[in-house]
Structure 1
Amino acid sequence: MTRRQRLVALVCVGWLLAIGLAAPVAAFQVERASTQLIDGTYWLDAFIDFRFTDQALEALENGVPLTIALHTRIRRKGARIWEESLFDQAIHYTIRYKPLSERYSVEPPAGGEVRSFVTRDAALRALGTVSRLRLISNERLDPDSRYQFHLRVSLDIDALPLPLRPMAYLRPSWRLHSGWSKWPLEP
């Protein structure tokens, strides 16, 4: 292989890596989040704005369910990166379109009630409204310390149908997330 051919090959590999392994798209945004202490347990209320890419919306319109992972952590304020979280949980919600009934459904974690919607916007608003999500018992917290809860929302690529996964892993338009946001844990 000549020097020129190696250079061309390196440039091609670089472009493929840049296209395929680009940073995830921060398309979801946690608009607000708050906690309430009720009967010794902290509960989360939040609103998330979902801005799906055209590719994800096209898949949804064609009957592909999209699963959202809502990841919550509770850590001592100012904790070092190597310190363990007091609470670490990921729960999954699914939105799907049913072409035969022309309705959207939002499915909460196992055991929750599936809700049905006529419009995609209504389904996305419902998906983005987190109400009374159980976090942690107050007994597990040191009364002399201050805590934060961390919240991240992402599209669960592993929940996509198998034929879509390779493309989803390689294209940034499928790696959708909110990034981590921090909020004070307050009663």
Structure 2
Amino acid sequence: MLKNFCLPVFLCGVLFWLSPALSYADTFGVEVKNAEITLQDDSYVLSADIDYRLSARAKEALQNGVPLFWDINIKTFQHRDYFWDKTLGNSSIRYRIQYHALLNMYRVRNEGSGELYNFSTLSAALDLMSTIRDFRVMDKSVSAPEDRYAVGIKVTLDRDALPLPLRPIAYTNPQWYLSSDWTLWPLIK
């Protein structure tokens, strides 16, 4: 009799413990949308849209002046039937977004080019980071007509760049799991 009572109580306890993580599952994260590769002037270029949905914890940290670093990784590879796929190119775009309370603005910096942009709202700052246009991924001369190629893109929140006291929380709290999965598509010649 006691055994039959303990199992439902245990399951209710587990569901109660997991409910915060489950309730946030669809409200935050990063997703790559509308990615395409086109040929321009003997180079294949990438255009993509990224949807950033920050969690309450990430927004709170940002409002308190904590910078968030985002890496957009772009990988070009050749598909091979009998061996592992061969990586032809690996490039990335790194953004830093930070809120400055004194100025009451969000600042986005492209870490690769050093370009700096100021925005009055978080959504405007995220809009800048969410658009990739004409990013060169591979020269046409590298590709052979008989081979198959693919391009992948992944967006990652760099939790190692967070301040040291925040890192253990970022690795254990599901609200900090803001990275996307790899989005792959074939390169059409």
- Structure-1 separation of matches of 2:82 and 2:178: 27
Residue 70 (str. 1) matches residue 67 (str. 2)? no
Find the partner of 2:37 among 16, 23, 35: 35
Aligned length: 168
Once residues 165 and 72 of structure 2 are traced to their aligned partners in structure 1, the CA distance between those partners, rounded to angstroms, is 24
RMSD: 2.5
- SS of 2:87's equivalent in the other structure is coil
Partner-residue secondary structure (3-state), 2:90: strand
The equivalent of 2:8 in structure 1 is none
Relative to total residues, which structure has the larger strand share, 1 or 2?
Answer: 2
User: Aligned in 2, Cα 1:178/1:144: closer, same or farther, shift over 3 Å?
Assistant: same
Gaps of 5+ in 2: 1-13
Q: What's the counterpart of residue 46 of structure 2?
A: 44
Distance 2:176 2:106 in 1: 20
Match for residue 59 of structure 1 among 58, 61, 79: 61
Asked if the contact 2:77–2:149 (Cα under 8 Å) also holds between the matched residues in 1, the reply is: yes
Worse overlay, 46-55 or 164-173:
164-173
| Amino acid of the structure 1 residue aligned with 2:170 | A
2:121 partner letter:
T
- Percent of residue pairs bearing the same amino acid type: 38
Distance change in 2, residues 1:39/1:93 (3 Å): same
The aligned counterpart of 2:11 is none
After superposition, give the CA deviation of every residue in 1:2-32 in whole Å (9 maximum; x if it has no partner): xxxxxxxxxxxxx9xx98xx9xx77111111
Unaligned runs of 5+ in 1: 1-14
Deviations 1:153-187 (A, max 9, x none): 11111111222112111222112111111122236
CA displacement at 1:83 relative to structure 2 = 2.7
Q: Aligned partners of 1:103, 1:80: CA distance in 2, in Å?
A: 53
Pick aligned residue for 2:101 from 99, 102, 108: 99
1:125 maps to 2:166: no
Q: 1:173 aligns with which of 175, 180, 187?
A: 175
| Per-residue CA distance 1:112-133 (angstroms, 9 max, x = gap) | 4211111111111111111222
Distance 2:171 2:82 in 1: 31
| CA positional deviation for 1:65 | 0.8
State the one-letter code of the partner of 1:28. V
Q: Secondary structure at the match of 1:168?
A: helix
Q: TM-score, normalised by structure 1?
A: 0.79
Partner Cα distance (1:81, 1:171) in 2 = 38
* Shift in Å, 1:79: 5.8
1:37–1:186: 8 Å Cα contact kept in structure 2?
A: no
Higher relative CO (Cα under 8 Å, sequence separation at least 6) belongs to: 1
